[in-house]
Every structure is written in structure tokens, then in C-alpha cells.
Structure 1
Amino acid sequence: MSNPSPVIIEPNRPANASVIWLHGLGADGYDFAEVLPSLNLPDDHGVRFVFPHAPIQPVTINGGMTMRSWFDIRSMDLVNDVDSAGIRVSCHQVYKLIAQQRDSGIAEQRIVLAGFSQGGLIALHAGLSYDHALAGVMALSTWCPLVEQFYLHRQMPIFIAHGQQDPVIPFALGAQARDDLIAKGYNVAWQDYPMHHQVCVAELTAIGQWLSQVLALRSEEDSTNSEEA
């Protein structure tokens, strides 16, 4: 059975930027579609949001149960027992999504890759291995094994956020991803929150501010004040 088309939410004006947002293990493309109002983006922001669905496949750590998954989770050793082949396959799926946005008229430097948990790992791996620098990468409640392979796009903005009490992806793994990327010279903005494996209101506000910054979004009021100055 073919994978369904992504959930796409168009802005109120013609799109001039895109955010491709990948869900976590066992969820689907609808998972984050409802949080967009909480980002508090300007009404005229022009950002298209694309929420793809991971393929349905067996997940070893869940007894081989089939579910939407970007790659296999084989054990609790999330750093050393890594499905690198599955990660590569999903990265190529993301490259195709980027190409679709590019073909629709959105420049690569106006595309953000985002993801939560397993999807955040793919966003990092795809964004840091893609041929061209994107507007940025947003990785929520995730981890980043195989960081030694990254060397591209060190100036590209990266936003990483994690829950301090996360029982699924331990906080230490999120902090390690931050530290490893900074050590390699990457431009990382970090936030952490008193929460579990989830998102919170303060985090969504920070995400909206970061997106506004990397995509240079301005509200009508900001634009008017700039013109008057």
C-alpha cells in the first residue's frame, strides 16, 4: 500500500517558505498540524507547512509491531545500535519532499526541516547531509547518533529543544546532540523545559520566534514601523 500524501497547510497568502515537519514513532502527519496557531506567526507569514507520514514498518523494540516509523529502533541503546540504513532511506524521502517544494517555487534557503523525536533525528541527518544549506533545522526531543559524518552547512541555524524529565529520549541524549554539534562548529540554539516527551506552550512560542527569525518573517505592525523609521 502506498504511503498517503503529506498533510499540507497553506498560508493565507502565496507561500514563499516551507516547513517540512516530521512526526515521531507511531504518530502520523496530523500529529503537529494543530499546534500551528500556538506558534503565533504573523497573519501574513507566507509559510507552507508540510507534515509527511512515515511508512508503516516493523519496529523491533516494540516486538516487531508494525507502525509508522522513519527507521527501526532495535534496542534501548539508541547511540550504538543504530539503523543507519533505515535513516538513509528516510533522508532520501525527505530530499524528495525538499525537491517538491523547490519545484513549487520555494527556494532551498526558504525551507526549514523540523521533527519530533525519531522525526527530529531524521530532520538533523537530512538537513546536515543535503547538498545545499536550508533555512534551518529544528529538532525536538531527539538525539543525534553518527554525528561524526556531518561536515556540511556549519552556519545553518539549528534549534534543539528537550524535556528535562523525558523518559523516552533521555535528556542527556538531547544535551549530547547539542554538545556534539557545537563541538563540530554548528550554529545551535538550545532550549530545555520542565516536561516529559512532549511539547509545551513555552516551547511552541520559542519555535515561532525562531522560525520568524530564520525565515525573516515580520508582522504588518513590524513592517509599518520599519517603513516609518
Structure 2
Amino acid sequence: MQRALLLMSLRASRALIPRTARRSRCSARYASAQPLGKRGVTDGSDGITLFGSEAIQNGAAPSITVFWLHGLGDTADGWAGAFVPGGGITMPSPDYKVVLPTAETLPVTLNMGMQMPAWFDIYGLDAGAQVDEAGILKAAARLEALVALEDPATKIVLGGFSQGGAVALTAGLRCPSKNVAAVVGTSTWLPLGDSYPAAIADGALERPVSLHHGDADEVVRTSWGEASKERLEELGCRVSFDTYPGMAHSACPEEFDAISSFLSSI
């Protein structure tokens, strides 16, 4: 059963996100700012960087940079379509950059050691399953290293889907960079909850957190998202938690609209 759910996760992250993005309403506000894609992120991994303008691509500091991490078994391609004009998520300014890294290819224990893009290993889907703490912290450190390369005046948003969201939440609490402004997590959970508050970086509790979850998610259960919200609130974070009726381990236009609104409020 667990392996079947994991394979559902892979199908969702690979297939449903681009299709959902194409269904989303087109935003004319910044449709004229055609992002330019670049293969290979700064750390040398396979990934995609989207630029809101040629000036940003040529080195001008963006007003906002969003780092978005895909889910288990996916790549940067799975979410790039959501951030292009009309793709679903509208950026609050034309002077933006979106960085979409691709995870390392790792053997995933739950899937009988199958090699796939993964931010960390998964041993089981039950609450008491072993947790790959070293892998989670390594992925969060990689994200923090990318953040450190950004201009200090640029607002940074850390976000991700499913396993990528778990890394974004981890980095959001631990990253010392002062320009990290907010965190977004979709269909995800907060790992290593017992390591807080000791591991929280100075100023991290001031970063608003926007969580989104389908109420029919059988991979990352909605109750995990709710428990993560409660834990973050216990720590002192400002957290919003939106649920979407009938949505499984996927995304929807209403979720993209909510993320767009959140980004415009930062």
C-alpha cells in the first residue's frame, strides 16, 4: 500500500502540475514580461532559472526571487510552467527571478531502492517511520547556499511541493539570510519538528508561512499539513493554511491564485 501511494505521488508531481497550470487563467498584468529560461542552476545541478526581464538575466538585482522545489520523482520541468506568464502563479513585480533546482538522483528506500530525483530518502509514510535527517539537512543547506548568492536587497521566497516543500519549510526556519521574506508549502509537511525551537535562525519567526493542501490527499495526508501548521504556530510563526475540496496530491487554479495573492502581500 505504501509503495502504491508513493507511485501515486510520482504520477501527481510529474503529470498533474503542468496540466493544472495550463488550465489556470492567464494574467495579462505581466504577460508582456516573457521569462527567459536558463539550464543549470548556480550550483551546477540540472535546473531552470526564469527571468522576468532581460535586465534581470543580465545581472540586475530582482525585486523578488522565488526558489521553488519540486516533489519526489519530478524535476524542475514539472513546475516551470506554473511560473511563466499565464501559467497560474502571478509574480508581484515584473522584476523577478524564479529558481527551480532539480534534486539529486537517489535510491528511495520506500520504493525498493529505485533511483529517482529526491531531496532526501523516504523510509515510510507512517508517522513513526524513520526520518532521513541528514538528507533533509543536506537539501536545506543546498537551498540556503543558493539563497546566499542573491543580492541582499532582493526579497527571497522559499517554496515547494510535497517533499520539496518539506525542504523549503526546513530552510525557512534555519536559513540565516536576512532577506528571506516568506515561505510557501504545498501538499507538504514540516519534518524534524522536535528540533525546534533550538534550530531556528534569528529572525526566522518573522517570516510568514503560507500552507496549501488538498482535502483528498492520500499521499501526504491533510492531517500532516494541519499538524505542521499547529507546530509552526506553537513556535510563533504566522501561518495561513488553505485547503481545497476534492484535491488529491496535486495542485489547482484556486491554489495558484492564493499563492499569487500571498506573494503580492510580502
SS across alignment from 1:154: helix
- In structure 2, stretches of 5+ residues that fail to align are 1-42, 57-61
Runs of 4+ in 1 over 3 A off after TM superposition: 2-5
| Deviations 1:151-184 (CA, angstroms, capped at 9, x unpaired) | 3321211010101000110110011001111111
Aligned AA (2:189): W
Question: 1:28 and 2:75 equivalent?
Answer: yes
- Map 1:1-229 → 2, pairs under 5 A: 4-12=45-53, 14=56, 15-36=62-83, 37=86, 38-41=88-91, 44-78=93-127, 80-100=129-149, 102=150, 105-107=151-153, 110-133=155-178, 134-151=180-197, 152=200, 153-194=204-245, 195-214=247-266
Q: What is the rounded CA distance, in whole Å, between the counterparts of 2:94 and 2:239 in structure 1?
A: 24
Q: How much does 1:193 deviate?
A: 0.4
Distance (Å, rounded) in 1 between the aligned partners of 2:191 and 2:104: 21
Output the amino acid matched with 1:199.
A
Q: Secondary structure at the match of 2:218?
A: coil
Paired position in structure 1 for 2:20: none
Deviation of 1:3 (Å): 6.1
Aligned partners of 1:16 and 1:106 also within 8 Å: no
Give the drift of 1:106. 4.9
Contact 1:129 1:150 in 2 (8 A): no
Unaligned runs of at least 5 residues, structure 1:
215-229
Structure 1 pair 213/128, CA: closer, same or farther in 2 (3 Å)? Answer: same
Tell me the amino acid that sits aligned with residue 94 of structure 1. Answer: L
Q: CA deviation at 1:137?
A: 0.6
TM-score normalised to the size of structure 2?
A: 0.74
**Residues 106 and 47 of structure 1: CA distance in aligned 2, closer, same or farther (over 3 Å):** farther
Contact 1:3 1:55 in 2 (8 A): no
**Count of residue correspondences:** 208
Q: Sequence identity, in percent?
A: 35
In structure 2, distance between residues paired with 1:150 and 1:157: 17
